[in-house]
Structure 1
Amino acid sequence: MLELKLAMYIDFPRRMKPGVLVTCSDDIELYSTGVTETITFDKPGFTALAHPSDLAVGTTHGVFVLDPSSFSGKGGLEYGSCYRFLHKPDVETMQQSGAVCVRGDRPQLSSPGNCGDSAMASECVYTDSVFYMDHSTAQQLLGFYKQMGTLGCEIDAYGDFLQALGPGATPDYTKNTSNVSKEDSGLVAVRQQLYSLLQGTALNVIVLNNSQFYHIGTTQEYLFHFTAESKLRFELGLQPVAFSIFPDSAKTLDQLSIIQSILEPGCVIGPGSVIEYSRIGPEVSVGEGSIVSGSYINFNVNLPSGCFLSSVSVKMTDRVEYVTMVFGVGDDLKKGVKLMSDIHFLQFFGVSLPECLDLWSLEASDQLFSSEDTHLGLWTARIFPVCSTLSESVRMSLNMLNSVQHKSAFKLSGFQLLSVEEMLTYKDVEDMLKFRKQIYGEICLQKEKSDYRMNGT
């Protein structure tokens, strides 16, 4: 993803004054401009790229309320100004704020509050992706950070920065925590200070009418865009097998994605699945629509369909250990409850969490969850065993899953257990990259041998 981002933005620096460019790791923006049209970041304040999107997309992203006097809807690229920025608004808010445009050869802003009789499909909003801040604005924010000292809450570079910008910005958003994944006690106060700091700062918009915004931040989106006949896969020319060792007998399947992995002859990968940075043994069967990432599976096992398996190296003391998270691709990791009596609303692979805990000989208590506040969910549940080897961590987590699917006991009480939250806190990126480099080196060696044999004949 990093390489793809760098390739997409390769022309930006030469037309950018000193400043900071912010982008996300879970989206891809493809665009086309005219021969004489260029994207330039040279204005004071903030400058953001804007993409035409369906209203449904706007409800889960940032939406620009464009200044009508600066927007004509002509051409593939247009520079304008933003009156106000909306963060994950509902459809009614978008319509009432004047953010909705009527599609056509020349998109036109509809009047605020006018829903009209036209079908929703003929309407669009302009959503966010990449934004730039000039050097003086970045310095201003850095000064604010130093003045604050250690932040006791999470600040969103999109929601908390951009909502303070433009002449139509109001401080109302500072108290709205509906889109916050973790609400901290000092969040509202810090937001209000940020609003005061950034109020009056310009939000310039580069409207890319011939562009497409792709979000791949959920498991379902990831699987669709990388394995199905998606527009993104076609436009980027994504191949089913990329820099991997893959059995010739299975290369007829194209509804899958194998990325820098070693798959030994005999393994079976179901259609619609993604295997990345992993080593899969000959006795492994992966079901349909599954994701396997950073794992080493060298034992006889059948991964069920719709399985998400991801291994992480962790370093809590002076030695590296391993933990593997496993979920259903449809499990809601963001869902949380505040009371222990409500954890039955949490589902692990379609089974209530208390039922899973019984099978694993774990007790539902405050110690089961890593979160310091009252957010109890799959994200903070300490249910994944720490192991000394990568393959063993995969085996233990799959045993957990097997016990849930077959309603058979698998005792976890003897293991040190981590939550996903803790796995990310303790993750050892260097060791994870070391595993990837080992796979990379073996693939290179195998390809060299293959090329040598071909040249020899």
Structure 2
Amino acid sequence: MNEEPSSNTLLQKATKDKLEKFNRLRGREVKPGEFWDLVVITAADEDQRAAYELQIREKCSRKELPLGISYHVIADPPGYKIGNGGSTLHSLQILSDAYGESLSRLRVILIHAGGFSQRLPNASALGKIFTALPLGEPLYQMLELKLAMYVDFPSHMKPGMLITCADDLELYSASDRIVFDKPGFTALAHPSSLSIGTTHGVFVLEPAEDPSVRDLEYRTCFQFLHKPSVERMRSRGAVCTNADHEFVYTDSTYYVDHATTTLLLDLFRDIRPLRCEVDAYGDFLQGLGPGATVDYTNDTANVTKKESSLVEIREKIFHCLRGAPLNVILLNESKFYHLGTTEEYLFHFTADPCLRGELGILPAAFSVYEPEASEKAAACVMHSVLHPSASVSVGSVVEYSRLGAEVTVGTRAIVSGCWVGAGLSVPDETFIHSLSTSLDGRTCFVTVAFSVRDDLKKSVSSPAGVNELELFGATLEECVSRWGLCAGDVKFSGDGSVWNLWNCCLFPVCEDRKSSFAATLGMVWAVRGKETVALPRNTKLLSLQEILQNKDLEQMLGFRKGLYEEILAAK
């Protein structure tokens, strides 16, 4: 008797099929109905929009994306933060203005890629939707992988919009049987642990007509819970059981049919300009299903900034969408991966055997690098040129970098965009990233470094509390003294309302990428080794926030292009 294929084998084959199908579309003109009519990416502001558009143009010129369709980048309006729900509404308005009635015939994918990736800073300058992935020839970035994973959707979808985020990944087996043809909202749902459910949206399902479990099931949702407690999941009937194993169904990507997008557009015309953050999941989906009540509109526990208009806006969304169906496609043979933090990034690219097998992750992708046998299973090098004597230790990632002779990278480190001179050594658990910035009309280089465990978002309430901030396990005061500075030398950028590692001016400005890396690495070793390093007098120090505000995109992409050409020539 033949054994049933394992979930891992099913996902591996299904993912391979999608990647092969997408690879056949890369670099050629697609036929109508063969792919998305519009690919739309949201950006936090005009600077980010310009960065995204520049990279998309380069991708198209290098034939890394399907051609013959429209790629749009839509920036949030200036002023208030409006959240991914606000970005969805704003994007719908922009598309409606541009396409008019013809939008009713188009299949659109909307990828939310705004934000500054403070939990994965190597994606901050060029965007998390352009995060490198260790597969593909030429190298995949998150944009290509999102498009590949949904490559079967457009041909099984009525006009409308698929809404997804830039830093997660869904692998599933039932690819060509997923159909988006129902009115209202249709969400993909994945079996997850109860603890995962507390940080995601959770579906409370209507009873099944057929109780047998299949890899794909179409169901309707009674109520949607946003980041619920375990007690709430149980009391609302969200917890499912399979062979004594408890789980819930969590959200990821969802589809909205065209008729419902026109409802959202009418709503937006009534509530704009937005002055609060709206969540495309919590604020849209919680109003759907027969079990929805208006109570959630007053719950601001998961809101980062509580604007006075939020409750009123939520109530308007609720009344606008009330009665719209929430259909759910249960993907019982699926996996949901999040790649939004340094810890997740390191784990999934170097230590996770599941994703490695399912996605076909390579230890060296599009690089000049021959890993030792011990490095093959446990390190990751992407779009980089390494001297034959350079070595990368277990659990580390190197991307878009050049490593000289006898360079060593310690365990669980991230090296991004760097030119590492001969003989240098990167300590364990170090995040180090070189950026180009424009100061007074000239290009300079700054390398930032943190521990992979440091919390760049942790803020203190006043400058007096900055010693609560830690860098590489040491207080800020201790770091400053190791660098031969005094407390008064450390400034914070921004409007003076926030003090954290993101806007702390710690990193020296240098004339070239190689010396920039060496200068910051010396500061890291001083803190790690409890030694002292003297920075040159009058060294200008910048924060990561300031570097990004003045980033030199063309120089950063130029460095990557130089590596690209060298790698191609070596192949």
TM-score of Structure 1 vs Structure 2, range by shorter chain? 0.7 to 0.9
2:235 is equivalent to residue 96 of structure 1: yes
Q: Residue 340 of structure 1 contacts residue 364 of structure 1 at CA under 8 Å; is this kept in 2?
A: no
For 1:308, which of 431, 439, 444 is the aligned residue?
431
What's the counterpart of residue 253 of structure 1? 375
Cα shift at 1:194: 3.5
SS at match of 1:23: strand
Cα shift at 1:193: 4.1
SS at match of 2:457: coil
SS at match of 1:441: helix
Distance 1:126 1:229 in 2: 22
The alignment of Structure 1 onto Structure 2 pairs a total of residues equal to: 427
Distance 1:387 1:264 in 2: 24
Distance 2:211 2:564 in 1: 50
2:528 is equivalent to residue 439 of structure 1: no
Distance 1:56 1:333 in 2: 24
What's the counterpart of residue 345 of structure 2? 222
What's the counterpart of residue 455 of structure 2? 332
1:331-370 pair list within 5 angstroms = 331-360=454-483, 361=485, 363=487, 368-370=492-494
Code of the residue aligned with 1:381 in structure 2: it is: C
Code of the residue aligned with 1:38 in structure 2: it is: R
Cα shift at 1:412: 8.6
For 1:11, which of 120, 135, 152 is the aligned residue?
152
Distance 2:368 2:393 in 1: 17
SS at match of 1:102: strand
What's the counterpart of residue 452 of structure 1? none
Cα shift at 1:152: 4.1
SS at match of 1:391: helix
> Structure 1 residues 316 and 124 mapped into 2: Cα distance closer, same or farther (>3 Å)?
farther
Cα shift at 1:281: 1.5
Q: Residue 493 of structure 2 contacts residue 545 of structure 2 at CA under 8 Å; is this kept in 1?
A: no
Structure 1: runs of 5 or more not aligned: 105-117, 448-457
Cα shift at 1:241: 1.1
Cα shift at 1:261: 0.9
What's the counterpart of residue 207 of structure 1? 330
Deviations 1:22-78 (CA, angstroms, capped at 9, x unpaired): 2222222111128xx611122222221100011122122222222225784531111
> Structure 1 residues 264 and 58 mapped into 2: Cα distance closer, same or farther (>3 Å)?
same
RMSD: 3.0
Code of the residue aligned with 1:7 in structure 2: it is: A
What's the counterpart of residue 83 of structure 1? 222
Q: Residue 385 of structure 1 contacts residue 412 of structure 1 at CA under 8 Å; is this kept in 2?
A: no
Code of the residue aligned with 1:292 in structure 2: it is: V
> Structure 1 residues 429 and 188 mapped into 2: Cα distance closer, same or farther (>3 Å)?
farther
Code of the residue aligned with 2:348 in structure 1: it is: H
Deviations 1:264-284 (CA, angstroms, capped at 9, x unpaired): 122221111111121112142
> Structure 1 residues 404 and 186 mapped into 2: Cα distance closer, same or farther (>3 Å)?
farther
Code of the residue aligned with 2:160 in structure 1: it is: G
Q: Residue 30 of structure 1 contacts residue 212 of structure 1 at CA under 8 Å; is this kept in 2?
A: yes
Distance 1:292 1:262 in 2: 12
TM-score computed with the length of structure 2 as normaliser? 0.67
Q: Residue 206 of structure 2 contacts residue 222 of structure 2 at CA under 8 Å; is this kept in 1?
A: yes
Q: Residue 370 of structure 1 contacts residue 381 of structure 1 at CA under 8 Å; is this kept in 2?
A: no
> Structure 1 residues 422 and 233 mapped into 2: Cα distance closer, same or farther (>3 Å)?
same
Q: Percent identity?
A: 48
What's the counterpart of residue 323 of structure 1? 446
1:145-160 pair list within 5 angstroms = 145=268, 149=272, 151-160=274-283
2:187 is equivalent to residue 63 of structure 1: no
Q: Residue 168 of structure 2 contacts residue 338 of structure 2 at CA under 8 Å; is this kept in 1?
A: yes
What's the counterpart of residue 31 of structure 1? 172
Distance 2:320 2:500 in 1: 35
Code of the residue aligned with 2:146 in structure 1: it is: K
Distance 1:409 1:320 in 2: 26
What's the counterpart of residue 289 of structure 1? 412
1:29-178 pair list within 5 angstroms = 29-33=170-174, 38-69=177-208, 72=211, 74-104=213-243, 122-142=245-265, 144-145=267-268, 149=272, 151-178=274-301
Q: Residue 370 of structure 1 contacts residue 419 of structure 1 at CA under 8 Å; is this kept in 2?
A: no
Cα shift at 1:179: 3.1
Q: Residue 399 of structure 1 contacts residue 410 of structure 1 at CA under 8 Å; is this kept in 2?
A: no
SS at match of 1:337: coil
2:386 is equivalent to residue 268 of structure 1: no
> Structure 1 residues 382 and 73 mapped into 2: Cα distance closer, same or farther (>3 Å)?
farther
What's the counterpart of residue 278 of structure 1? 401
Deviations 1:157-192 (CA, angstroms, capped at 9, x unpaired): 333332333333344444444434455565555444
SS at match of 1:336: coil
Q: Larger deviation: 418-427 or 71-80?
A: 418-427
What's the counterpart of residue 524 of structure 2? 401
Distance 1:439 1:170 in 2: 55
> Structure 1 residues 84 and 239 mapped into 2: Cα distance closer, same or farther (>3 Å)?
same
SS at match of 1:434: helix
